[in-house]
Amino acid sequence: MMATRAQQRPERSDPVRSGEQSRDFEFTSADFARIRELIHRSAGISLSDHKRDMAYSRLARRLRSRGLDTFKQYLDLLEAENDPAEWEAFTNALTTNLTAFFREAHHFPILADFVPRRAQPVSVWCSAASTGEEPYSIAMTLIEALGDSGARQASVLATDIDTQVLAKAEAGMYQFDQVKHLSPERLKRFFLKGTGAHAGMVKVRPEVRALVRFEQLNLTDRDYQLRSQFDAIFCRNVMIYFDKPTQAQVLARFEPLMKAGGLLFAGHSENFTYVTQAFKLRGQTVYELTRDASGARTPTATRGSATASHQAASGVTV
Ligand SMILES: C[S@@+](CC[C@H](N)C(=O)[O-])C[C@H]1O[C@@H](n2cnc3c(N)ncnc32)[C@H](O)[C@@H]1O
């Protein structure tokens, strides 16, 4: 059997080049349009024009591993085979997973102040958990706010669409560089220092790890099921990848999953005021559910409705 061009070529790291001619694989505008359509349909992600090189370099790995020559072949195979593992790899390749411990730090004192005033045990959902830094920061905050014994009853559900980042999150191992900005107290209380083969690494302590449950969940899947309600939902730096109609759909799913008076934490450049009436802005990128314990909406719930339909129709890409 004749080897394909990809099989004959020696392995090398992804080229990120601007000219199409210098690329290893044929990648046309039609291919990119198809990728955009498929990732929007499967994960809600809107890829803008300037993500073209990124899509090329990330998916070129898939072509190499499947021994294919062109993006068209790959996309045909993806759609024809309907293989869940290839769809998972396709999605994993196109997500952006940047995160950090105690990122957007102003949210954590708000959470720490909020949870002791709630009926116990509290539960928090971290809905775009990436490699785990965010759900572990939430768990650490719960321990600081509720004490070791109070926090033992608490729980953090950490979900993400990307199975690769979830595997890293579950391991709870990080480079020391990723935690060096934390206070010595936090470092000592929440991390174990790696030795020998793990020198230069830290591991999240089992007491922190025990509060967090990891699961794969696609926020844009209309059928996802969660059994419990949450006191707080973290949905940070993921909505920026969704267009406005998708954001509205995601937020509509959050509403019944939130306990009365629950808080929704958004990323620094995310504004839900004009996307939903179910949450009102309470502070810097922190929203509160506008439904009380009886299920009635609080009076401020009507804000922003006129603009909402305009924005929902406009759509955005990142
Ligand atoms: C930029 S990271 C943000 C991580 C963390 N929330 C933070 O703010 O540091 C965005 C995460 O959203 C996840 N994501 C993208 N689309 C998703 C979807 N449809 N459902 C669930 N997670 C998604 C990505 O896999 C990625 O890990």
Higher-pLDDT residue of 315 and 175 is 175
Q: What is the pLDDT of residues 154-210, one digit of tens each?
A: 999 999 999 999 999 999 999 999 999 999 999 999 999 999 999 999 999 999 999
Are 154 and 82 members of one domain? no
Are 169 and 57 members of one domain? no
Ligand 1 pocket member 164 (CB < 6 A)? no
**Mean pLDDT along residues 57-85:** 96
CA distance 306 to 97: 34
**280 located within any domain:** yes
Q: 3-state class of 108 per DSSP?
A: helix
Please give the distance, rounded to the nearest whole angstrom, from the Cα atom of residue 10 to the centre of ligand 1: 33
- Distance spanning both ends of the chain, measured CA to CA: 43
Q: What is the pLDDT, as a whole number, of residue 299?
A: 59
Ligand 1 pocket member 238 (CB < 6 A)? yes
Are 115 and 247 members of one domain? yes
Q: What is the pLDDT, as a whole number, of residue 82?
A: 87
94, 118, 148 — which closes off a domain? Answer: 94
Average pLDDT, the chain: 88
pLDDT band at 296, cuts 50/70/90? confident
Are 135 and 283 members of one domain? yes
Q: What is the pLDDT, as a whole number, of residue 70?
A: 97
Are 82 and 227 members of one domain? no
Are 265 and 193 members of one domain? yes
Q: What is the pLDDT, as a whole number, of residue 310?
A: 28
State which residues form the domain around 74.
Answer: 25-94
Please give the distance, rounded to the nearest whole angstrom, from the Cα atom of residue 219 to the centre of ligand 1: 9
CA distance 63 to 86: 11
* pTM for the full predicted model: 0.88
Are 39 and 159 members of one domain? no
Instruction: For residue 191, give the amino acid letter.
Output: F
CB 250 within 8 A of CB 279: no
Are 67 and 169 members of one domain? no
CA distance 300 to 311: 20
**20 located within any domain:** no
Q: What is the pLDDT, as a whole number, of residue 240?
A: 97
Are 133 and 235 members of one domain? yes
Q: What is the pLDDT of residues 91-122, one digit of tens each?
A: 999 999 999 999 999 999 999 999 999 999 99
Question: Which one of 31, 160, 231, 243 is the catalytic residue?
Answer: 160
Are 61 and 197 members of one domain? no
In the predicted structure, residue 311 carries a pLDDT above the cut 50 = no
Q: What is the pLDDT, as a whole number, of residue 318?
A: 28
When divided into structural domains, the chain yields a total of: 2
CA distance 273 to 28: 38
Residue 160 is a catalytic residue: yes
Please give the distance, rounded to the nearest whole angstrom, from the Cα atom of residue 236 to the centre of ligand 1: 8
In the predicted structure, residue 314 carries a pLDDT above the cut 90 = no
Q: What is the pLDDT of residues 215-258, one digit of tens each?
A: 999 999 999 999 899 999 999 999 999 999 999 999 999 999 99
Please give the distance, rounded to the nearest whole angstrom, from the Cα atom of residue 266 to the centre of ligand 1: 12
**16 located within any domain:** no
Rg (CA), the chain: 22
Are 204 and 123 members of one domain? yes
Token pair recorded at residue 266: 């958004």
Are 60 and 145 members of one domain? no
Q: What is the DSSP letter of 58?
A: H
φ/ψ bin of 227: left (φ > 0), alpha (ψ from -120 to 50), beta (otherwise) = alpha
pLDDT band at 17, cuts 50/70/90? very low
Please tell me the residue having the least CA distance from ligand 1 atom 7.
99
pLDDT band at 15, cuts 50/70/90? very low
Ligand 1 pocket member 45 (CB < 6 A)? yes
Q: What is the pLDDT of residues 162-173, one digit of tens each?
A: 999 999 999 999
Percent of the chain with pLDDT over 70: 86
**141 located within any domain:** yes
In the predicted structure, residue 16 carries a pLDDT above the cut 80 = no
Q: Domain containing 268 — which CATH number?
A: 3.40.50.150
72, 94, 116 — which closes off a domain? Answer: 94
